[in-house]
Chains A and B, each alone.
Chain A
């Protein structure tokens, strides 16, 4: 029964930063890899700048779509000031993926920070092959910005050993 290990990821940031896009890509990549996946978020439909957080859970069988507080294996944060209000989500020993882990000047477009951070995360999720990530990026992102984002993803993913 308990061989069913669920990996919990919380993605947080501010409205307009691409939190939902990032969690959509992650959920889609896991789905393509044949895993059970649920994702859930509370977000407004308009306005800008408020806190946004999205929960993604992947594994053999996922029940609740919400990551219980203090049980996130990964906390991926897009805005430095959102680390503090989301820190409680992370379990002891969980991994914080923060914006300063990416050298912004290496990004062709700063707006692809969300995808660069997903690149870092991807290196820690061996059950989702790289090819599925690429397919998920291709379906979720408009043609115009795909190249920049593939570059951002590769940049983050290359960071594994760092």
Chain B
């Protein structure tokens, strides 16, 4: 039931609520901080939400739903869009029948990521409209607006909240009595959806024509608002920077862009001309600044140092004052550590003892890089451990090559490790290779989500289970072993030593549950057993 009662919600919770209120038929994605809670909450609110094995598959499923005339939401963190970039660039051409919103949660300041890439570049590169909310109310409103734009223009829309928007709480007044979208229904449109070159050429024209219409609409859209102020200073900004900027310069006039692609260039031009000094304040890369300057509008950008990390009120005061002196470095807090009793500890203790060269991956286990283990030599992106390990094995002298091990978590293995194993079997290095899958039975890093290897779906109900060792055998790995490194440390030690010495491809599943999830897993299993009996 819809309500207008105000609620105190995080940005993610607000997006989930709007997704429910917009009548979205399917929410799909892959976990990634700070986006994860959107689908979890949507599911709790009764929505149909599911985790895909990775972001590319998630987007493809969402595209299918939107081709079928339904409304779909696809969620991921910023780096997830790299994985999903292939379908993104072409669904921009095909467009959609229902509606498709792709949520990319960016992480300026790297609170929990391997880079701080700015996904506003994707909006421009792929020709996909982008909306950037600045607080939870806008997170709610902009999800609705993104769905409406998508439905009207028949094109996918990107929604880009950042960590501070996703994880901050503020007050939201939800809309009431929104009309239900049309029911899903397939209508054939071969020229519109089959992207052979002849049809794709036309589709590219259609995309640019839609963007031109949208840019015209953007000039008067309430998504882009002007807060009048003093004529001496104007600020052009978007997203969370808007909140900081209003506080840092209460007297300034502000042009707040909600739709940051395509840009309302005439509105920007008039605003810039109306003030004596016009500064573009944006978190991340100088994306707005460069577009605005390219349109021949005289605006001031930010000194280079402010394009690193998050912005805040203090930094914006400095930017406006032209202060480029060194910034105070806040005292370092205590870094996180693997939990006491964490199953990953056994593996890293051994790898350290054996002086392995460890091609690592992303998850809780990346903490194996820190003392006391210091047993990780690389971590690039999800799934890279296997390819990087193989590359090292191919070129290193034998004595070093035999020390190389790839270490990958279970969720990461399903996400993008499988193709690495195919590569290992197809192009084995002369010394073979050793892959250790750290199977703790969950996606721990992002807050204990299910994945296809756990045998449970997003809401923890039963699902078919992908069995990692069976998959590895079917692909053709020479030696496949499963064991609990905590229960059988001696056997584990011996197995790894043997595997390093063998000239064969080996995959070891080190299976032992995450201690934070173990209790929950027991509860899910118990409910399941009960349900089976009944």
Chain A residues with CB under 8 Å of chain B are: 1, 14-15, 24, 27-28, 31, 36-51, 53, 62-66, 68-69, 81-82, 84-86, 88
In B1-29, the 8 Å CB interface with A consists of: 6, 8
Question: In the bound complex, how far is the Cα of B171 from the Cα of A45, in angstroms?
Answer: 23
B225 at interface by CB-CB < 8 Å? no
Establish whether residues B250 and A41, one from each chain, have CB atoms under 8 Å apart when the complex forms: no
In the complex, chain B residues whose CB is within 8 Å of the CB of A43? 167
- Flag if B333 contacts A50 (CB, 8 Å): yes
B330 beta carbon closer than 8 Å to chain A: yes
- A44-B336, A64-B312, A86-B331 are known contacts; what are 12 more A-B pairs with Cβ within 8 Å? A24-B169, A31-B6, A37-B170, A40-B167, A42-B163, A42-B167, A45-B36, A46-B447, A47-B336, A47-B339, A50-B335, A64-B313
Asked whether, in the complex, the Cβ of B333 is within 8 Å of the Cβ of A48, the reply is no
B328 close to chain A: CB less than 8 A: yes
Is B445's CB under 8 angstroms from A45's CB?
Answer: yes
Report which of A39, A46, A51 forms a contact with B334, defined as CB distance below 8 A. Answer: A51
Return the 6 tightest CB-CB contacts between A and B, nearest first: A51-B333, A50-B336, A45-B447, A40-B168, A65-B168, A63-B247
A44 and B314 in contact, given A49-B336, A85-B331 (Cβ under 8 angstroms): no
Whether the Cβ atoms of A46 and B516 lie closer than 8 Å is yes
Please state if A48 and B444 are interface contacts (CB–CB under 8 Å). Answer: no
Cβ 8 A contact of B8, one of A14, A31, A86: A31
Q: CA–CA, A27 to B328, complex, Å? A: 29
* Residue B448 CB within 8 A of the other chain: yes
> What are 10 pairs between A and B in contact, CB < 8 Å?
A38-B169, A40-B167, A44-B112, A45-B112, A47-B364, A48-B340, A65-B243, A69-B314, A81-B334, A84-B331
Binary interface profile of B, 234-271, with partner A (CB < 8 Å = 1, else 0)? Answer: 00000010011011001000000000000000000000
The docked-state distance in angstroms from the alpha carbon of A36 to that of B364 is 36
Q: Mark B314-337, 1 if CB is under 8 A from A, else 0.
A: 100000000000001011111111
Q: Tell me whether B450 is interfacial, beta carbon within 8 Å.
A: no
Q: Which residues of A contact B243 (CB under 8 A)?
A: 63-65
- CB atoms of A40 and B164 under 8 A apart: yes
Contacts of B367 in A (CB 8 A): 47
Number of A-B contacts (CB under 8 A): 116
Q: Complex formed: what's the CA distance from A151 to B163 in Å?
A: 35
CB neighbours of A48 from chain B (8 A): 336-337, 339-340
Interface size on B, residues (CB 8 A): 45
**A27-B169, A41-B167, A68-B312 as given contacts; A46 in contact with B333, CB under 8 Å:** no
A1-B250, A64-B312, A69-B328 known; A46+B168 contact, CB < 8 A? no
**Neighbouring B residues of A86 by C-beta, 8 Å:** 331
Q: Are B8 and A49 in contact (CB under 8 A)?
A: no
Interface of B is mostly: loop
On chain B, the residues within 8 Å of A64 by CB distance are: 240, 243-244, 246-247, 312-313
Cα A24 to Cα B337 in complex, Å, equals 24
Q: Is the CB of A46 within 8 A of B364?
A: yes
Residues of B within 8 A of A81 (CB): 334
State whether the Cβ of B338 lies closer than 8 Å to any Cβ in chain A.
Answer: yes
Q: CA separation between A27 and B7, bound complex, in Å? A: 11
Query: Which chain B positions have C-beta within 8 A of A37?
Result: 8, 169-171
In the bound complex, what is the Cα–Cα distance between A88 and B328 (angstroms)?
10
CA distance A39 to B111 in the complex (A): 16
- Cβ-defined contact, A85 with B164, below 8 A: no
Q: Given A27-B169, A31-B8, A68-B314, do A50 and B337 touch, yes or no (CB 8 Å)? A: yes
**What is the chain A residue whose CB lies nearest that of B7?**
A31
A43 to chain B, nearest CB (A): 8
Q: How far, in whole Å, are A36 and B243 apart by their CA atoms in the complex? A: 14
Report how far A50 CA is from B444 CA in the complex, Å: 16
Q: Provide the bound-state CA to CA distance between A49 and B516, in Å.
A: 13
In the complex, chain A residues whose CB is within 8 Å of the CB of B6: 31
Closest to A24 in B: B169
A1 to B111, CA, bound (A): 34
- Which residue on B lies nearest to A4, using beta carbons? B250
In the complex, B33 has a CB within 8 A of chain A: yes
In residues 179-232 of chain B, which contact A (Cβ within 8 Å)? none
Write out the residue numbers on chain A whose beta carbons fall within 8 Å of the beta carbon of B516: 46
- Is B446 on the interface with A (CB-CB < 8 A)? yes
A69 CB contacts on chain B under 8 angstroms: 314, 328, 330
Chain B positions 445 through 458: 1 when the CB is less than 8 Å from some CB of chain A, otherwise 0: 11110000000000
Of A45, A65, A85, the residue contacting B170 (CB under 8 A) is A65
Shortest CB-to-CB span from B333 to chain A, Å, is 3
Q: Which residue of B lies closest to A68 (CB)?
A: B313
Chain B residue contacts of A45, Cβ below 8 A:
33, 36, 112, 445-448
Q: Are A63 and B244 in contact (CB under 8 A)?
A: yes
Beyond A27-B8, A31-B8, A69-B328, whether A46 also contacts B169 by CB under 8 A is no
In the complex, chain A residues whose CB is within 8 Å of the CB of B169: 24, 27, 37-40, 65
Chain A residues lying within 8 Å of B444, measured Cβ to Cβ, are 46
B529 to chain A, nearest CB (A): 24
- Tell whether, in the assembled complex, residue B336 and residue A15 are in contact, meaning their CB atoms are under 8 Å apart: yes
Cα distance, A44 to B446, chains bound together (Å): 8
Q: Which of B163, B170, B331, B446 contacts A88 (CB 8 A)?
A: B331
